[in-house]
């Protein structure tokens, strides 16, 4: 993550969270798949990583609580990779995905 400012990192963190949430359940399957499996997947790997969260916390841009919840979100999301739930239908129907979507929304509400 060389070359990006702390403010850019914060924007990318927020943008990542915007790609995941209960609001997706009203969208079509193609859009859900794009948001979750392309946009959020890449962002979760980079911008919800402990190193990124530490930088944001040290800069005073996020709280310890937001950092912990973001790490939990990343962990829950990545636990679904390479499982039979790694598909749009599961995003719409499974309890595990519902927890991911709701946790993302909770973090976004704490940022306001």
Mean pLDDT of 12-36: 98
Residues 26-71 have pLDDT tens digits of 999 999 999 999 999 999 999 999 999 999 999 999 999 999 999 9
Rounded to the nearest integer, the mean pLDDT of the chain is 96
As a whole number of angstroms, the distance between CA 105 and CA 24 comes to: 11
- Give the pLDDT score at 99: 98
State pTM to two decimals.
0.94
- Give the pLDDT score at 3: 84
Residue 72 to residues 27, 31, 64, 99, 105, Cα–Cα distance (Å): 25, 24, 12, 11, 13
Q: Dihedral through CA 80, CA 83, CA 88, CA 90, nearest 10?
A: -80
Report domain extents, the chain: 6-111
As a whole number of angstroms, the distance between CA 75 and CA 1 comes to: 20
């Amino acid at each position: 993550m060389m070359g990006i400012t702390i403010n850019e990192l914060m924007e990318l963190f927020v943008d990542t969270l915007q790609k995941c949430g209960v609001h997706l359940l009203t969208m079509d399957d193609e859009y859900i798949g794009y948001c979750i499996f392309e946009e959020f997947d890449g962002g979760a790997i980079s911008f919800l990583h402990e190193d990124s969260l530490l930088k944001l916390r040290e800069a005073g841009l996020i709280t310890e609580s937001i950092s912990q919840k973001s790490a939990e979100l990343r962990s829950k999301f990545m636990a679904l990779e390479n499982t039979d739930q790694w598909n749009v239908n599961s995003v719409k129907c499974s309890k595990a995905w519902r927890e991911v979507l709701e946790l993302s929304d909770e973090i976004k509400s704490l940022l306001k």
